[in-house]
Copies of this chain bind each other. A is one copy, B any other.
Amino acid sequence: MASTNPARGTRDFLPADVRKREYVIGIIKEVYESYGFEPLETPAFENLETLTGKYGEEGGQLMFKILKRGEKLAEVTKLRSYEVNEETSKLADLALRYDLTVPLARVVANNKNELPKFFKRYQIQPVWRADRPAKGRYREFYQCDVDCIGSTSIVVEAELISAVSKILLRLGFDDFVVRVNHRNTLFGLLRKYGIPDEKVLDTIVILDKIDKIHRTGVEKELSGQGISTDVSRRLLDALEHLVKSDSSSLTGKEKLAATNVLKLLEKFESGFERTWGNKSMTVIAPPREHDADLEKVAKAAVRNQAFFLNLYKELDGDPAGFEGAKELASIVGTLYADTEASVRVLVDPTLARGLSYYTGTIMEINVPDLAGSLGGGGRYDGLIGMFGKEQIPACGISLGLERILVVMDERGMFPPEIADSTPADVMITIWSEETAPESLLLAAELRSQGLRVTVYPEADKLGKQIKYADSIRVPFVCVLGESELADGTVTLKNMRTGEQQTCDRNKVREIISVG
């Protein structure tokens, strides 16, 4: 007999799971909609050539490919002369989507004339990767993508970070950090410290693992790529020095200097003066509700001021890297309009992101109790051009639904109505086959009053019907027995307290609402 398990690395979602997923998806949609992003959906599979060559070698190997059908398959298998490594291109013509970004790029290229100049879309759908399943790693998982197509402005990055921060706050996360970096500053630093051009992409893939394999692991893997220990040490020292930037590295003059960050803060009207730790400084910022937030904004501003001064020094003489650094400063500065997001943004010069299609800003969201990320993304100004004649700039962030759910489950973050959901507000019993229509009629009445009503489907013993009601945890049972039918009443049983009362059927709605 065949196994009844779902396929390896996939999961069935029973009702309690679906309700949790829909709760999170509902909040994500609501926030994206409030920012003016619109929904898009694309097919589960794409033509194989649409996905080929977009994710790097590793990504390509993880694609689920769909076997050709009928005559086309027969043609291929008749040949019998193909090489093993040619199999997939001959045997398959479709593949399940690996992410939501490449399908978006295809859609944009395909619908250029119908889509607005700036296309702000969100997309919440499953993707599939033939990865080795592990704790929290599945072969089918949902991504919640939000992207803005058509603009190179850093306002895009600021709004994306603001939107995903709002989502995480609405879900109850308050300890997340949005790390940002820029591919050009990273390239600039790698060049400056002696990584040869042809090793830059490999180095980025290795750097991306620094959270998992730590500095020693990165040095080892770089050495495996033929990069000398001297080069990799100097590079990692420089990155660490940048990470540790704080106000102590600033002169008094520098502290007050009009960096990009402070320039932007100065635009706001009211200011405040504040002391923290053993340092004090003046920061101009918009009025906010919570002093704690003000303090965090100020701290972040000074840290960023120090960081950018150090970064600018590092990239002096590298125009592309310097421009990247200025973009990062603009994003951070613009984000001061959203206090809640701005105190959670951290410029991290070590952030690399593995995917090859990023061209500018890169972003990643982390919480302390999760090894991986809750989401990530970046700017990919070259991807859409791979599908059309025209280069169209684009930037987006993808939230990982499964990771969010794992952390919310572990931390018990679901509201009670989701965590303890019931299939109905009330169950109606059936007295006999002949009175079944009466039970259905009462159910219809109560539904028309807004209640969720389930009817026990059989004329079973009353005890069995009550036991079933208990097993599905409905809070009330409406008994419609012989005497109740005779005098137009119902007996309503509160399953939590055990109390029961006989009442007019018109009173049921009211009693359930109070109970």
Contacts and interface: CB of A to CB of B under 8 A. Distances in A.
Interface of A: 1-7, 10-15, 17-19, 21-22, 33-47, 49-50, 61, 64-67, 69-70, 73-74, 77-78, 80, 84, 87-88, 91-92, 94, 96, 103, 106-107, 109-111, 114-118, 120-121, 126, 128, 130, 140, 148, 151, 153, 155-156, 158-159, 162, 263-264, 267-268, 286, 330, 333-338, 387-388, 423-424, 427, 430, 433-441, 443-444, 447, 451-459, 468, 471-472
Nearest to A81: B80
A472 B116 contact: yes
Contacts of A267: 434-435, 437-438
Contact of A440 (B40, B118, B151, B159): B159
Contacts of A335: 437
A47 B10 CA distance: 10
B39 A18 contact: yes
B117 A334 contact: no
Contact of A34 (B15, B46, B268, B452): B452
A388 B438 contact: no
A444 B338 contact: yes
Contacts of A156: 457
A446 to B, nearest CB: 9
20 contacts: A2-B387, A7-B43, A7-B47, A7-B50, A10-B44, A10-B45, A15-B38, A36-B452, A36-B454, A44-B128, A65-B69, A77-B87, A78-B84, A117-B471, A153-B458, A159-B455, A330-B433, A334-B440, A337-B436, A338-B441
A435 B336 CA distance: 12
Contacts of A111: 12, 14
- Listed from nearest, the 5 A-B pairs whose CB atoms lie closest are A36-B454, A10-B43, A15-B38, A4-B110, A337-B437
Contacts of A36: 423-424, 427, 452-455
Work out how many copies of this chain go into the complex: 2
A447 B63 CA distance: 40
B12 A50 contact: no
B33 A13 contact: no
Given A91-B91, A140-B44, A107 B12 contact: yes
A155 B14 contact: no
A6 B43 contact: yes
B468 A45 contact: no
Nearest to A118: B457
A92 B67 contact: yes
A44 B47 contact: no
Contacts of A103: 12
B121 A15 contact: yes
Nearest to A159: B455
Contacts of A121: 15
Given A44-B126, A67-B91, 5 more contacts: A36-B424, A44-B44, A45-B64, A64-B66, A153-B458
Contacts of A1: 387-388
Contacts of A92: 67
Contact of A447 (B21, B34, B94): B34
Contact of A441 (B77, B110, B286, B440): B286
Contacts of A159: 440, 455, 457
Contacts of A87: 67, 73, 77
A137 to B, nearest CB: 15
A103 to B, nearest CB: 8
A381 B287 CA distance: 67
Contacts of A110: 4-6, 12
Contacts of A447: 34-35
Contact of A7 (B94, B109, B286, B451): B94
Contacts of A337: 436-438, 440-441, 444
Given A12-B41, A77-B87, A46 B6 contact: yes
Nearest to A109: B4
A100 to B, nearest CB: 12
B106 A4 contact: yes
Contact of A80 (B80, B286, B388, B436): B80
B2 A50 contact: yes
A17 B43 CA distance: 13
Contacts of A437: 264, 267-268, 333-337
Contacts of A66: 64-67, 96
A387 B49 CA distance: 38
A457 B153 contact: yes
Nearest to A67: B65
